[in-house]
Amino acid sequence: MRPSTELCALHVESLVYDPVARGAKIQGDVRVGVSVDDKGSVVHAQCEVGAALLCSMAEQNVKKWSFHPGEAETFAVGYTFRIGPPGAHYEAPTRVEFDLPDRVSVYIDSIPVDH
């Protein structure tokens, strides 16, 4: 389900990698089915694929978005959650990249930590 070419996001919000997911190094891809009404409000968001904790983060995030008013529409938003290379220390902040209206990438990059 790809959104129409006329669907334009007016407001999106960044998100922070959940501390539990970060600690457990949970990563992966998530797909959320989204319904937008004619006023541009997200009226429904349901995870279709992905780990439960990542799904919860994605659903909560996309419910905060708004779109340019127009025809009601249903489409999918894909989220990619990634944590840097194995064995690294992950104290870095969350980095989020948007490829609107239907892709979000959420990263935790490794940073060196002095011992």
- Domains parsed from the chain with CATH numbers: 26-108 (3.30.2420)
| Residue 113: per-residue pLDDT | 52
Which pTM was predicted? 0.86
- Going from the C-alpha of 9 to that of each of 19, 86, 88, the distances in angstroms are 28, 35, 35
Q: b/e per residue, 46-60, with b = 16+ CB within 10 A?
A: ebeebbebbbebbbe
Residues 6+ apart with CB under 8 A from 34: 42, 44, 45, 62, 74, 75, 76, 77
State both tokens at 70.
């127009």
Collect the ranges in the chain with pLDDT lower than 70: 1-5, 86-91, 110-115
- How high is the pLDDT of residue 114? 52
